[in-house]
Amino acid sequence: MSMTISEKILAKHADRAEVKPDELIEARVDFALGNDITAPLAIEAFRRAGAKKVFDPERIALVPDHFIPNKDIASAVQAKTLRDFAQEHGLTWYFEVGRMGVEHALLPEQGLVLPGDVVIGADSHTCTYGALGAFATGVGSTDLAAVMITGKVWFKVPHSLKFIFRGKPGPWAGGKDLILYTIGRIGVDGARYRAMEFTGEAIESLPMEGRLSMSNMAIEAGAKVGIIPPDAITRAFVEGRARRPYEFFASDPDAVYESVFDWDVSGLEPQVALPHSPENVRPVTELPEIRIDQAVIGSCTNGRLEDLRQAARVLKGRKVARGVRCIIIPATQQIYRQAMREGLFEIFLEAEAAVSTPTCGPCLGGHMGILAPGEKAVATTNRNFVGRMGHVESEVYLSNPAVAAASAVAGRIVHPGNL
């Protein structure tokens, strides 16, 4: 039987010759993760179940990143819960402050999630790892607890949607713009419990940073996973960092898809999602004048080194507009160090932007950039729901790093080419 890449990965991990959409299967998990918000609930469920040990202390990561460094007493207690559990069970991959980063940038960087894996995480943006050719998806905290005990999880095999992107996007447009464009076309429920498979020449030429951004936001279309067939770019990324063997899977030429979307994205310009939905997408040049109070460059969507380089190209020799706050958050310690070595911090500081230690912080309205009533922010994050970054009367506009940086300089949302 012909299968898609997602079906092949699930079949192997269920020890089956084949699987079909809508089948219920139990699959072995290669890696599981939780953060300082979701893991304490999983730990509570783990203990309530009477479990004495985890299935494999090398296959679980606990990453305190949402309210870290500790925002308040409650977040300190959450972090301590992770720390104590990691020590109790000898978990190798507990990432303390100073080692930690935003989880979905950190784990690929560390070679812990790999092509061909089944990965689950108690965080909806676990789908990020689909960029490596893994079947990666978010689950609830009780599911994480079950996986920590058994190393297995059940799935309903998803139907697959194929997205073919032809042509070359225009200047300053990349993976973030391709996924915003996609969500704008199909809506926030257009891929509900589906596997989104991204292909085509625009994907084949996309660097890993852009691929990770695309897969990261598959959940914003309701998808179970956003997967990119691995290739030479994937191999170049994982070689030298992979901590265990991995396998490349590919869809069969005659694999069956529920739907196929074939789009020419030649000349695609940067896209912006307006409040209060990731599907409310328009090309940046078609926006009315939108004054901003804050720009945030970072998160699991766009806090990688190439994202910071892109922002630096825009900010170099310029100043953040009066009355605007520009907050730049490298996603990991390694990215932070390399950005500092390359002189990017000097550019940011000369532009009068603020640079933060790695944290999810403002993305979820946690800390390090909360919005007051009536304030507007342009952000490289992934969600712009009501109250997502602060007060319910604030507004968040989603963009790529170049648009966010240019908007910080202009004081309004603009195309980088306008500066």
* Nearest by Cα to 62 from 114, 29, 97, 28: 97
- The Cα-based distances of 409 to 56, 104, 368 in angstroms read 49, 29, 20
Burial of 320 (0-12, 13-18, 19+ CB in 10 A): buried
Q: Is residue 158 a contact partner of residue 6, using CB atoms and an 8 Å limit? A: yes
Residue-level pLDDT at 404: 98
- The Cα-based distances of 72 to 67, 69, 76, 100, 408 in angstroms read 8, 9, 6, 18, 29
Which CATH class for the 5-262 domain?
alpha beta
Residue-level pLDDT at 293: 98
Residue-level pLDDT at 370: 96
Pick the CATH number of 272-418 from 1.10.10.1800, 3.90.110.10, 3.30.499.10, 3.40.50.300: 3.30.499.10
Residue 339 token pair:
């950005």
Which residues of the chain register pLDDT less than 50? none
Q: Where are the domains of the chain?
A: 5-262, 272-418
Q: For 165-273, where are the alpha helices, taking DSSP H only?
A: 175-186, 201-204, 208-216, 232-238
Residue 133 token pair:
């050719």
Residue-level pLDDT at 385: 95
**What does 263-328 look like in DSSP terms, one character per residue?**
EE-TTPPPEEEPTT-TT-EEEGGG----B-SEEEE-HHHH-SHHHHHHHHHHHTT--PPTT-EEEE
Residue-level pLDDT at 181: 98
Residue in the block written with tokens 């922002």: 311
Label the pairing between strands 194-199 and 325-328. unpaired
Q: Is residue 275 a contact partner of residue 388, using CB atoms and an 8 Å limit? A: no
Residue-level pLDDT at 25: 98
Q: How far apart are the first and last CA of the chain?
A: 54
Residue 402, classed as helix, strand or coil, is: helix
Residue 185 token pair:
């076309």
d(CA 313, CA 296): 16
Query: pLDDT (tens digit, 9 = 90+) per residue, 296-307?
Result: 999 999 999 999
Q: Is residue 68 a contact partner of residue 300, using CB atoms and an 8 Å limit? A: no
CATH topology match: 5-262 vs 272-418: yes
Give me the amino acid identity at 368: M
